[in-house]
Amino acid sequence: MADDSVDAIDDKNNTEDTSSDDAPDWSGFAGSIIVNFIIFLLLILIGSNFVFLVHFSSLDLVFPTDINKYLPNSAPGNKPQTGGGKKQKGGNANFVSYAQKLSGQSFDLLKSLGYTNKLNGWPYSMYKKSAEEFSLQEVKNWFALTEANTYITYRKVMHMIYTGSNKDKGLLKSVPDPGLYIIGIIIPAVLTGLIVPVMTFLSTIFFSFTSEKMGWVYTLLGFLFVLLLGYVNVILHQLSVMFNVLILPLIINYQTVFNIANRNSRWLKMVFGIFILFSAFSKLDNATAGVMAVAYLLWLIKEIFF
């Protein structure tokens, strides 16, 4: 008799546990919505910034690639770039103005951050065209040239990403905004996680042995210093990518970035609806989530066709 009563209690507890597991977790659903909304805002920011930089007319200010902008005089072994080519046009009739001319306030802020037509700060200020062999100045020249060439390589890659092989037309400028958002979200992750670390480390080693004829870098101590310099440059370039992708366009013209997001608000709302459905199916019961999915599909049809 006692065993029967114990079994009955266990069955009741199991039934209660099952029913509680199937109950919708509305507080968890609300928390998931908040987290997804923050992630969604971050993705919108990255995508809008990418669209901005694709159509930005002054990429050479953000990513300078001319050796003469880094050093007081053109470096030996590096042919100075002349002419500068044609200026890029910022966007077309289907796009808002992409800051063709920087405002005085924006330029002052960029200048304070080191974005100028002449990068005459450290370590480039260490360079002097003439230096005696095996002197301290030769070491300074080696360091300045190595850093300049490494940064130029990284910034050439950034130029290629935003303009393609044609600097004047820009291959990405004809891509619709939704496509640019997808590209702009994927590329920073690939850049910071794979391309920039590998490219920066290899270019640092390469230019360490080619910028100047420095016999000491062939020593064990010199090679260890080059490896350390490569690791430091990897970190600096990763931080640079994140700053340029997340913050710099807002500094240049935050109103334009917000306008880009606002112009794409219709389809962005559709995407956020999918985020909500993910939260629903992970936190709510299937019946409730299914009703929300049907409501979303009906709303989607109305937005697209009506």
Tell me what percent of the residues of the chain surpass a pLDDT of 70: 78
pLDDT-derived band at 86 (thresholds 50, 70, 90) equals very low
Q: Which of 45, 40, 90 is nearest to 184 (CA)?
A: 45
**Residue 130: per-residue pLDDT:** 77
Residues of 34-51 as b/e, b for ≥16 C-beta within 10 angstroms?
eebeeebeebbbbbbbbb
CA distances from 41 to 36, 52, 177, 187, 303 (A): 9, 16, 16, 17, 21
Q: Which residues contact 169 (CB under 8 A, 6 or more apart)?
A: none
- Provide Rg for the chain, Cα atoms: 28
> Which is more confident, 102 or 295?
295
Question: How many Å apart are CA 115 and CA 110, to the nearest integer?
Answer: 5
Instruction: Calculate mean pLDDT across residues 176-184.
Output: 86
Q: What are phi and psi of 74, to 5 degrees?
A: -60, 140
Q: Residue 146 pLDDT more than 80?
A: yes
Burial label, 24 (beta-carbon count in 10 A; 0-12, 13-18, 19+): middle
Q: Residue 177 pLDDT more than 70?
A: yes
Q: Residue 174 pLDDT more than 80?
A: no
**Residue 87: per-residue pLDDT:** 42
Q: Residue 255 pLDDT more than 50?
A: yes
Structural tokens at position 293: 């999915």
**Residue 231: per-residue pLDDT:** 94
**Residue 216: per-residue pLDDT:** 75
Q: Residue 15 pLDDT more than 70?
A: no
**Residue 303: per-residue pLDDT:** 82
**Residue 5: per-residue pLDDT:** 54
pLDDT-derived band at 103 (thresholds 50, 70, 90) equals low
Q: Residue 92 pLDDT more than 90?
A: no
Instruction: Calculate mean pLDDT across residues 237-260.
Output: 89
Q: Which residues contact 128 (CB under 8 A, 6 or more apart)?
A: 72, 137, 140, 141
Least confident of 100-114, 198-212, 275-289: 100-114
Instruction: Calculate mean pLDDT across residues 209-236.
Output: 86
Q: What average pLDDT is seen over the chain?
A: 79
Q: Determine if residue 91 is left, alpha or beta; phi over 0 gives left, psi from -120 to 50 gives alpha, anything else beta.
A: left
Q: Residue 29 pLDDT more than 50?
A: yes
Q: Which of 271, 199, 252, 261 is nearest to 230 (CA)?
A: 199
Q: Residue 191 pLDDT more than 90?
A: no
Instruction: Calculate mean pLDDT across residues 164-178.
Output: 68
Q: Residue 81 pLDDT more than 50?
A: no
Q: Check if the beta carbon of residue 259 is closer than 8 Å to that of residue 176.
A: no
CA distances from 18 to 6, 13, 27, 288, 289 (A): 18, 9, 19, 17, 18
**Residue 71: per-residue pLDDT:** 82
Burial label, 159 (beta-carbon count in 10 A; 0-12, 13-18, 19+): middle
**Residue 297: per-residue pLDDT:** 92
| Each residue's pLDDT tens digit, 285-302 | 888 889 999 999 998 888
pLDDT-derived band at 227 (thresholds 50, 70, 90) equals very high
